[in-house]
Each structure stands twice: as C-alpha cells, then as structure tokens.
Amino acid sequence: MSAALPCQAVVTFGTSSGTGIDVDVSALSLADLEAGPLGTSSGTAPAMYATTNSVLTVNVSAVLGSGAATDDGDGAINSSANSNVDGFAGTRLASGTSTINGLTVLLVESVLPGDLLNITATTLGSTSTSSGDFGVLGSVGTSVFQDLNITVGGNAIFVNIDSSPAPNTILLDAGGIIGLTIVLNEQIATGDGISGTGLTTNALHVYLNAVNFGAVSAITGDIVVGQSISGLGAIPEPGIAVMGVLSGMLLMGRRRRVA
C-alpha cells in the first residue's frame, strides 16, 4: 500500500487596517466628545492590496474636552494596510500600521486639582502583522512612543517615554481616579494559530467606566490612539493522499485475482 502524502493548504483570507485616533466619550452633565475613527487605511484579501491614508490636521473640541494632532511635515496621521494573499498556496501575510504626530488629548479641563486627563506625544503608533501558512500562523505587534506624557488629575504618571513598553502595560485606576484605566501597547490576539490568527495593537487605550471628577459625573467611553489590526485565515486542501490509497486498493485486488 502506498504511503499517504501530506495535505496541502491555502491561506484564503487576509485583512488589515490602521487607524490614527478614535475618541468616543460621554458624560451625563456635558456634551459628548467624539473624533473618528480618523486616518483609517484598510483592506481585505484576496486579491492582494496595498493602501495608504494621510490626514494633515486633527482638531476637535467640545465642553467635555478636546483632541488634536499637528502636521510635522509628513501629516498628522499616517496609516497603511497591505496583504499578499492571492488565493494560491504558500506563506502569506497581512499587515497594518498607524502613526500619529503632535498628539494632544485633554479631558475635563480644570485648574484645581488639574485636568482629568492630559496626554501629549511627539509621535505615537503601532504595527500589527499576521503571517504564515495553515498550521503555522502567527501574529506580532509593536508600539512606538516618542515624548509621551500623561497627566491624570494633575499628577504626572508617565513622562517622556521614548521606547515601547511591554505588551499590555496597564494602569488601573490611574492617578487615583477610580474607573479610569490606561493601557500602553495593548495587544489583543485571536485565532488558534492553525487555521487562523489575528491581532489588534493599540499604542494607547484609555477606558473610562463611570468616572466621577469634580462636578462632572458618569464619564464613560474609550480613547484609542495608534491602532493597527491584522489577520489571516487558512484551510487545508485534499492532497494526493487519496491517490495513494486507491493505488493500494487496486494492487490488493490484483493479487486476489492472481491467487
């Protein structure tokens, strides 16, 4: 009986995106602060794709706060997404990236004891890449910070960060403000590494869960800056193992007739 040959596989799906900033915050006593998603590039394969996007300036404000990004000569937000998934067998990849320059985020401005949240950065961004073939799929993510400063309730909790913090660096109840959580280099993985893989990397993610600050109550929402997403899906395909089985069956049948 002939030996069965290994099955083939094909990466059949790829997706990726990059987004500069997405702000959605509300409070009972003040108008919402909303911005984005801004500066998004995205794609889905097959077929292969390569997209880019650039936003020159960002400037949004409301009673609850404000957000801005300034052009440093390359644009306030730059993002890209690409994939070489083409429906054929072989190692494939999908990648997304985003960068935001001259970032300023202010939430609930106050003289005393200080603003609820004040974030500034010269540059902030992330990249997510998924690659491989059926059975050996994986994703990696990185975040980059330059001159990141974060102040909560008048207290500086991060000053001049110029490197990439460890994945999922979490500040719970940041600055003593209950319900305010800040995550740096947030990485959320999906897939089993066999038939699928995916990753969302957020350079900066602020969670607000019913935060009370001064006269402002029930502040809820999210601030996501420098997001990148990537993912791949693959399926096995029947190889020529079946031919080996059939050949063995024919050979056995021929031997029976001779006997």
Report angle CA 199, 205, 210 to the nearest 5 degrees.
130
pLDDT in tens, 150-163: 999 888 888 777 67
Q: How many alpha carbons fall within 13 Å on the CB side of residue 133?
A: 11
Q: Supply the pLDDT for residue 257.
A: 43
60 pLDDT higher than 70: yes
Q: What share of the chain in percent tops pLDDT 70?
A: 86
Confidence of residue 206 (pLDDT cuts 50, 70, 90): very high
- The residues spanned by each domain of the chain are 9-258
Confidence of residue 255 (pLDDT cuts 50, 70, 90): very low
Contact residues for 62 (Cβ-Cβ < 8 A; gap 6+): 30, 31, 32, 33, 34
191 pLDDT higher than 90: yes
- Sign of the four-CA dihedral 162, 229, 58, 61: negative
Among 19-23, 90-94, 178-182, 253-257, the least confident range? 253-257
pTM of the model: 0.85
Q: Supply the pLDDT for residue 61.
A: 81
Neighbours of 129 (CB within 10 A): 21
Q: Supply the pLDDT for residue 161.
A: 76
69 pLDDT higher than 50: yes
- In the numeric block, the tokens 């400063």 are attached to 149
Say if CB 49 and CB 43 are below 8 A apart. yes
Rounded Cα–Cα distance for residues 205 and 188 (Å): 12
Report the relative pairing of strands 196-213 and 180-190 from DSSP bridges: antiparallel
Rounded Cα–Cα distance for residues 206 and 109 (Å): 17
Q: What is the mean pLDDT of residues 33-50?
A: 93
Report angle CA 97, 101, 107 to the nearest 5 degrees.
105
**In the numeric block, which tokens belong to residue 127?**
């990249």
Q: Supply the pLDDT for residue 4.
A: 36
